[in-house]
Structure 1
Amino acid sequence: MLELYHAGLTACSKKVRLCLREKGLDYVSHYVELGKFQQHDPDYLKINPNGLVPTLVHDGVPIIESSVINEYLDDVFPDVPLRPGDAVERACMRVWNKLADEALGPNMVVAFSGPSNIGQAARALEGADIDDRLARIPLIERRNVIHKIARHGGFTDEEFATAREKAGFIVRRAEQALEAGPYLAGQSYSLADINMMPFLDRYRERVVPDVFTEKEVPRLCDWYERMMARPAVIATWADSEETRAPAA
């Protein structure tokens, strides 16, 4: 049995749900309310010591880190392969996966610290609640983000500008990559496209809409339209019970 602990519309949760749908896999959905900091509850930390979403549990065994989860799914359920057969394209795919994990994830934390559930929840913390909440966060990087928002009002204009600049670089890099083929890693639809899609979607919508245009990045806009037409993407992006926090 597959169980997915996720937080609805977060980019890392969406990319795992997209992979599951591309493979036609059924799973049990468990919504983790980031606005209530449920990702730091003791029971959740037993399956994900980092206190992050998503977590996949397969027959009782937890698998963490969204890109790792997607590679695991491709290993265990190979009927719909999502890694290129060509070694060069596989290498390109891994570069995009690494970029998603090491650059886009942290950059999104800054760019979306305002409207995100975590950002809003951190601003609502007061006094002793801040110290208690901070003490439960296992990763110092995430602890520092909550501390910065709760104690110091969030990120500076300069930090937001840097996040936008990084986003613009990534958008243009994707445009350049698409000169070699219809997909980010080349000729084959792969985990590179799946892992990047939620981030690029957010960049297009909220972070650098002035860069993500037909004039500036025509190949990327074409890629985006083709991605949005895929049945698995349509299903993953659709509003549904699994994209909303459970009613209180």
Structure 2
Amino acid sequence: MFKLYHAATSVCSIKVRIGLAEIGGVYEEVELDLQAGDQHDPAYLELNPAGVVPTLIDDGLVLVESSLILEYLDREYNDGRLMPKGRAAEAAARHWLLRCLAIHGAINTLSFSTVMRDRAMASRTPAQIAADLDAMPDPVARAKRRDLYDHGLGSMHVGAALRTMDRTFRDMVAALEKTRWVSGDGFGVTDIALVPYIDRLWRLGFEALWAGRHDGIADWLRAMQDRPSYQAEVAGRIPAEQAVRMREGGSKHIDALLERVPARG
């Protein structure tokens, strides 16, 4: 049995949980409270020195990085059925998995510069915020988080995040114009890798980032949300009142966010 360290609403954790559900993987779970700083516990840092989730343990093998975990699970326990077949299709899927690093950074920025920043500043004292920043082991991530605290949607990181996501939407639509799924004619690893990020924007009330601009994203997202794996590992784990608070909190920022969306060129 796998052992999964994760957080319920963490996008990277969601990616791995959906992957496990799709292949029928049974796992023991250890849910971390990221707001309480469980990810900085010395015992957890022994497993994942970056202090992030998820971490998967498979018979003593410790795996980090959600896209790597997803591909590992499919290869080792699913006969690679989620990886599209053919050199070009497989190369495209692996490229998407690499791109998830940048996409994750963008989603982190858009989440924290809006709802998460509002929540933290309303519930934490300046001293507590400073302590939270000091606990972040990565100095680059720490500097980014400090800038987002200081500037919110005015941060330079927000503009970079919107450019990353605009390209992501365009490339997803280009794929979906040819095949049913981003992975190809069949549902696959790329769709699992991308859905937590697009779903997070939807949950923040940010669907205007693609509505009327990138046709095809909405239908793809609905198809993903209809899958039993999504219902069990995303919808089934987020309390309704929490979902409402997130959407209400994000919707307050959408107009300011749209003002920073890059013009079509």
TM range (shorter): 0.7 to 0.9
Match of 1:175 in 2: 173
Percent identical residues: 29
Separation in 1, partners of 2:118, 2:70: 24
Q: Which runs of 4+ in 1 moved over 6 A?
A: none
Q: What displacement does 1:81 show?
A: 1.7
Give, in angstroms, the shift of residue 90 of structure 1: 0.7
1:224 paired with 2:221, answer yes
In structure 2, stretches of 5+ residues that fail to align are 241-265
The residue type paired with residue 36 of structure 2 is: K
Return closer, same or farther for 1:59/1:95 CA change in 2, 3 Å cut-off.
same
CA distance in 1, matches of 2:144, 2:67: 22
Higher normalized helix content (fraction of residues):
2
Quote how far apart the aligned CAs of 1:187 are: 1.9
1:51-91 CA-partner distances (Å, limit 9, x unpaired): 11111111232100000111111122025721112111111
Q: How many residues align?
A: 241
Which amino acid in structure 2 is aligned with residue 52 of structure 1?
A: V
> SS in structure 2 opposite 1:168?
helix
How far residue 208 of structure 1 moved from its aligned partner, in angstroms, is 4.0
Mean Cα displacement is larger for which, 181-190 or 87-96? 181-190
Higher relative contact order (CA 8 A, sep 6+): 1
Instruction: Report the alpha carbon displacement of residue 6 of structure 1 after superposing the two structures with TM.
Output: 0.8
* 191 and 119 in structure 1: CA distance in 2 versus 1, 3 angstrom threshold: farther
Paired letter, 2:91: A
The match for 1:235 among 232, 239, 259 is 232
TM-score, normalising length: structure 1: 0.84
Secondary structure of 2:50 counterpart: coil
* Residue aligning to 1:66: 66
Mark the runs of 5 or more structure 1 residues left unpaired by the alignment.
244-248
In the alignment, the residues of structure 1 paired with residue 216 and residue 19 of structure 2 have an alpha-carbon distance, to the nearest angstrom, of 23
1:151-188 superposed Cα distances (whole Å, 9 cap, x missing partner)? x3645255434433432332222111212211113223
User: CA 1:222 to 1:155, structure 2 compared with 1: closer, same or farther past 3 Å?
Assistant: closer
The CA RMSD over aligned residues, in Å, is 2.9
